[in-house]
Amino acid sequence: MKKKKKQNKKACSEIKVNFTEEDVISRLKKHFPNPKTELNFRNPFELVIVVLLSAQTTDIKVNEVSPKLFEKYPDPYSLKNAPLEDLYEILKPINYYRKKAKFIKEAARLIVEEFQGNVPDNLEDLMKLPGIGRKSASVILVNGFNKPAIVVDTHVKRVAKRLGITCNTDPLKVEQDLASFFSKENWTYISNALVLFGRYICTARKPKCYKCYLVDICPYEPKNLKEVKKNDSSNK
């Protein structure tokens, strides 16, 4: 049996980019001057709940369901006492609604009993809430408290890798690479901007390089520089 040859890959520490933090941010701002999460919320408590509901569900669908939920259960005190069957009925349009109903009810209980009714504003305590991992906790810190954190979702991982800022796939290592490249004062901005940039411009399939302001500094190849119109017969 032949042994597979080891590929000589450069260590992440050896990867060098030919652009600066300012180069990236100035171009991102042309796309998203004031980026925000697309989940609708009015306070940190509502943000915790919609973030929990958004797992494997579109933000659009969560935004359709959440007004009815918050009209009936506007705070953690009322939500922790909500009958599960009622939550099931409200959340039925979203994926995994039964599991999520239990998560939000338990999260509300913990917010009341462990944090005196206030959503915690630090990573460690946020991650004590059911269904809240590091990524979700960072989303809450950035958007609910305007605190510096780095959100690493599938979009951010893809963009960071294509730009050459990281060669890692582990979210924590990607976060560390981004934290090393971007100054802390810009973490809040880039967290939301990179998510939206990856969602709408630097998409997984057929990235829209033809409309990307970062195209002149991006090392990713092959670039998709031609827009294909929906009614283009050559695309049928």
Q: How many CB atoms lie within 10 A of CB 227?
A: 11
pLDDT per residue over 187-222, tens digit each?
999 999 999 999 999 999 999 999 999 999 999 999
Instruction: Confirm or reject CATH 1.10.1670.10 for domain 18-35+150-211, answering yes or no.
Output: yes
44-145 adopts what CATH topology?
Answer: Endonuclease III; domain 1 (1.10.340)
Nearest to 195 by CA among 135, 228, 229, 152: 152
Helical axes 84-91 vs 97-115, angle rounded to 10°: 130
Local confidence band at 16 (pLDDT 50, 70, 90 cut-offs): confident
In the chain, what are the domain boundaries? 18-35+150-211, 44-145
Helical axes 171-181 vs 154-163, angle rounded to 10°: 50
Of 80, 100, 105, 135, which residue is the catalytic one? 135
Tokens 């919609």 map to which residue?
A: 50
pLDDT per residue over 80-120, tens digit each?
999 999 999 999 999 999 999 999 999 999 999 999 999 99
Local confidence band at 12 (pLDDT 50, 70, 90 cut-offs): low
Residue 15 pLDDT greater than 70, yes or no: no
Look at residue 230 in the predicted model and tell me its pLDDT: 59
For the ranges 5-14, 28-37, 50-59, 65-74, which has the lowest average pLDDT? 5-14
Structure tokens at 85: 């069957």
Look at residue 3 in the predicted model and tell me its pLDDT: 46
Look at residue 5 in the predicted model and tell me its pLDDT: 40
C-alpha–C-alpha distance, residues 219 and 9, integer Å: 17
Q: Radius of gyration over alpha carbons of the chain, in Å? A: 21
- HEC per residue, the chain: CCCCCCCCCCCHHHCCCCCCHHHHHHHHHHHCCCCCCCCCCCCHHHHHHHHHHCCCCCHHHHHHHHHHHHHHCCCHHHHHCCCHHHHHHHHCCCCCHHHHHHHHHHHHHHHHHHHCCCCCCCHHHHCCCCCCCHHHHHHHHHHHHCCCCCCCCHHHHHHHHHHCCCCCCCHHHHHHHHHHHCCHHHHHHHHHHHHHHHHHCCCCCCCCHHHCCCCCCCCCCCCCCCCCCCCCHHHC
Residue 147, burial from CB neighbour count under 10 angstroms (0-12, 13-18, 19+): middle
Classify each residue of 89-107 as buried b or exposed e, where b means 16 or more C-beta atoms within 10 Å of its C-beta: ebbeebeebeebbebbbbb
C-alpha–C-alpha distance, residues 160 and 174, integer Å: 8
Look at residue 91 in the predicted model and tell me its pLDDT: 97
Residue 135 pLDDT greater than 50, yes or no: yes
Local confidence band at 231 (pLDDT 50, 70, 90 cut-offs): low
Active site residue 6: no
Of 153, 161, 173, 208, which residue is the catalytic one? 153
Active site residue 153: yes
pLDDT per residue over 41-80, tens digit each?
999 999 999 999 999 999 999 999 999 999 999 999 999 9
Higher pLDDT, 226 or 12: 226
Cα dihedral 122, 123, 129, 131 in deg (nearest 10) = 150
pLDDT per residue over 146-196, tens digit each?
999 999 999 999 999 999 999 999 999 999 999 999 999 999 999 999 999
Look at residue 216 in the predicted model and tell me its pLDDT: 96
